[in-house]
Amino acid sequence: MLKERSVNAYLALFFVILLTGILFHQDRAFPGSALGHSLGILGSIFMLMALIYPFRKRILKKKGRQNPLGRHIACGLIGASLVVIHSAHVVSSLIGILLFLSVVLVILSGSTGYFFFKKVNLSLKEQKRDYDLLKQHIKKQRQNLMAACRTDDSSDISLLRPRVLTSPWAEKDDCERWLEELQILAEKEYSIRFFERLKIVFSTWHNIHFVFAVLLFALLVVHVLTTIYYGLRWLS
């Protein structure tokens, strides 16, 4: 059985393939036909279902396994794909063009933001785990050296360096290795700060995704209203 993540990856691939169809396919009769309209309505329902996730997250404060993000992504991708099929790659009116673009931008902002944010978050977690392990190791070594040097237990690491180097009992190789580890620790600290800043930058994708989604649903309402106002061909 396919994992949820794989299903979403296939859905994203399907959406991209559908989009590329705009280069060599257009059918003006399809969007207004009964089947075309049905697919448009179904796609809109799926896109509305994608709103369940932010509603549960923001209003009901349900997070994690109680409110899986995977379903939000799947509903969004299925809805967007059905809407692209409904359009039959005909985007001639201003509303049509804007709506089509907003669908693409919502999917693009959602998927790329999710992908990069997830990567940054994962990297940050890994860096923090390595940092903690290295810090523990250095702390243990410092305690050993303290015992060997019979010095007081200073909490300031930077003060230790000259004492270690000048200690007559410390082996030269051990000192070099210890210095190397301290250097790695400093690099890890820098890296963590960098990834934390990057995480803040990428957290703005969420706002961009939100704005595009609001625009999409507003345009969807306009599209539905104008379609009914000027007449549903398949209904007549």
Quick one: 145 or 219, whose CB is closer to other proteins? 219
Residue 55 or 190: the one with the smaller Cβ distance to other proteins is: 55
At residue 84, the 3 state secondary structure works out as helix
The residue (of 104 and 149) whose beta carbon lies closer to other proteins is 104
Distance of closest approach, residue 90 Cβ to other proteins, in angstroms:
8
Smallest separation (angstroms) from other proteins to the CB of 195: 23
Q: How far is CA 158 from CA 143, 182, 192, in A?
A: 15, 10, 20
Under 8 Å between Cβ of 23 and 37: no
What is the smallest separation between the CB atom of 39 and other proteins, expressed in angstroms? Answer: 18
- We find the least distance from the C-beta atom of residue 49 to other proteins, in angstroms, to be 21
**Structure tokens that stand for 60 in this block:** 């009901």
What's the helix, strand, coil split of the chain in %, to 5?
A: 80, 0, 20
* Residue 63: both structure tokens together: 């997070």
CB of 73 vs other proteins, minimal distance in Å: 22
- Of the two residues 104 and 211, which places its CB atom closer to other proteins in the complex? 211
Nearer to other proteins by Cβ, of 3 and 58: the residue is: 58
Task: Determine contact, residues 205/118, Cβ cutoff 8 Å.
Answer: no
Q: Which is nearer to other proteins, 77 or 219 (by Cβ)?
A: 219
Write down the least CB distance from residue 66 to other proteins, Å: 25
Residues forming contacts to other proteins in the complex (CB under 8 A) are 28-29, 90, 92-96, 98, 207, 210-211, 214-215, 218-219, 221-222, 225-226, 228-233, 236
Rounded to whole angstroms, the Cα distance separating 46 from 77 reads 9
* Integer CA distances (angstroms), 156 to 85, 120, 127, 160, in order: 65, 31, 22, 7
CB 209, CB 102: distance < 8 Å: no
